Amino acid sequence: MVPLEGAAQTLQATGRRLTTQRRLLLKVLAESRAHLDAEEIYALAKEKDPNISLATVYRTLNVLTEAGIVQERANIRDGQRHYYEVTDKIHYHFTCLSCHLVIEFEAPLVEQAVAELAERLNLDIVHTRVHIDGYCPACQQKVMIA
């Protein structure tokens, strides 16, 4: 689901509006199950609005990121590929080292550990990154057959 009402309020609080382009990119991100980089977002957005430009996509992603509506993440292994996702719930990532499947998961114990650490050491923790690499069930099967 596209968090349009929340996005509109968040943007308004920073003196911005929920424009047609911002609404479109939020919809593209929310509808996709994949982790999309800017060019992939552009390709999907262009299917819905042939007049949108790549520059507009980058500018819009920057605005949505600055507002905290979207998060920009770097691929943990190479740090080169950046992808974007709607900031909707706290979650972490598992990446298959063979097929590169990315699985999102929630981990309440991680959140609990972070909260306890913040309280114990009087820290203001603004971001936690947990990324696990390994092999998905399908790739494990391929290794066992080979």
Based on the domain organization, do 7 and 75 belong to the same domain? Answer: yes
d(CA 23, CA 1): 12
Amino acid 32: pLDDT: 82
For residues 18 and 55, state if they share a domain. Answer: yes
Give Cα separations from 97 to 47, 57, 138 (angstroms): 31, 30, 12
Q: What is the CATH number of the domain that holds 37?
A: 1.10.10.10
Distance in angstroms (rounded) separating the CA atoms of residues 7 and 5: 5
Show the low-confidence residues of the chain (pLDDT under 50): 1-2
Q: Are residues 17 and 62 in the same domain?
A: yes
Residue labelled with tokens 């309280």: 119
98, two tokens: 């063979």
Do 84 and 99 have their domain in common?
no
Q: Which domain holds residue 51?
A: 1-88
Instruction: Return the axis-axis angle of helices 38-48 and 54-66, rounded to nearest 10°.
Output: 110
The CATH number assigned to the domain holding 143 equals: 3.30.1490.190
Confidence at residue 75, expressed as pLDDT on a 0 to 100 scale: 64
- How far apart CA 99 and CA 113 sit, in angstroms, is 31
Number of structural domains found in the chain: 2
Same domain, 99 and 142: yes
Q: Are residues 119 and 68 in the same domain?
A: no
Same-domain pairing of 52 and 98: no
* Same structural domain, 74 and 39: yes
Q: Tell me the pTM.
A: 0.66
pLDDT value at residue 80 = 63
Give the pLDDT confidence score for residue 79 in this predicted structure.
Answer: 56
